Amino acid sequence: MYAKKIVLHFPHSLVNKPILHKLSRDYELEFNILRASITPDEEGLLVLELKGDEPDYKNALEYLKKEGVKVQTLAQDVIMDEEKCTHCGVCVPMCPVLAFHVEPETKKVIFIQDECIACGVCVDICPMNAMEVKI
Ligand code: SF4
Ligand code: SF4
């Protein structure tokens, strides 16, 4: 059994399409929804664990891409540049897995890298460009 965790970014126009149903019906994949949210620009974001046969998984990914869904595997690392972060807090409620914590006493924003699924939302919205994808 092949299993992978992926992040799907759905454009607004696809949010109501029965895409997950098709993954199980046509590609015989099992899926667990680990997280679901809507980003500030109304993109749907789903973190999934997919299980099934590898060829089915690959065909399903092709199908998703053709439908206009951006598929991201969880291999990238996102890092915080502490020197750039002003602790403005913009990223805190936007993170789908709550990887930012605000220290109650100092109001500092702490990035918990182990929680991060590298969805890229904070990278796009941070006004200081403090969140970066590590190459
Ligand atoms: S949005 Fe950027 S500057 Fe603001 S707290 Fe988050 S990482 Fe720091
Ligand atoms: S990339 Fe940013 S918004 Fe996405 S999970 Fe990691 S910390 Fe949260």
Structure pTM?
0.60
CATH architecture assigned to 77-134: 2-Layer Sandwich (3.30)
- Give the range among 6-10, 12-16, 100-104, 116-120 with minimum mean pLDDT: 12-16
Among 41, 78, 115, say which to mutate for ligand 2: greatest number of ligand atoms within 8 Å of CB: 78
Topology of the domain covering 2-73: Alpha-Beta Plaits (3.30.70)
pLDDT of residue 53: 93
Any ligand 1 atom below 6 A from CB of 88: yes
Q: Which ligand is the nearest neighbour of the Cα of 125? A: 1
What is the CA(16)–ligand 2 centre distance, in A? 24
Terminal-residue alpha carbon distance, the chain: 30
C-alpha to C-alpha distances, 58 to 27, 28, 83, 109, nearest whole angstrom: 9, 12, 40, 38
CATH 3.30.70.260 domain residues, the chain: 2-73
pLDDT of residue 135: 61
pLDDT of residue 12: 79
- Distance, CA of 47 to CA of 64 (rounded, Å): 14
Could you read off the pLDDT of 12-36 as tens digits, one per residue? 787 777 888 899 999 999 988 887 8
Any ligand 2 atom below 6 A from CB of 78: yes
Q: Which two tokens stand for residue 93?
A: 């409620």
What is the CA(56)–ligand 1 centre distance, in A? 39
Could you read off the pLDDT of 46-96 as tens digits, one per residue? 888 899 999 999 999 999 999 999 888 765 689 999 999 999 999 999 998
Which one is predicted more confidently, 118 or 76?
118
CATH 3.30.70.20 domain residues, the chain: 77-134
- Distance, CA of 67 to CA of 72 (rounded, Å): 15
Identify the H or E element spanning 111. Answer: strand 109-111
Q: Which ligand is the nearest neighbour of the Cα of 129? A: 1
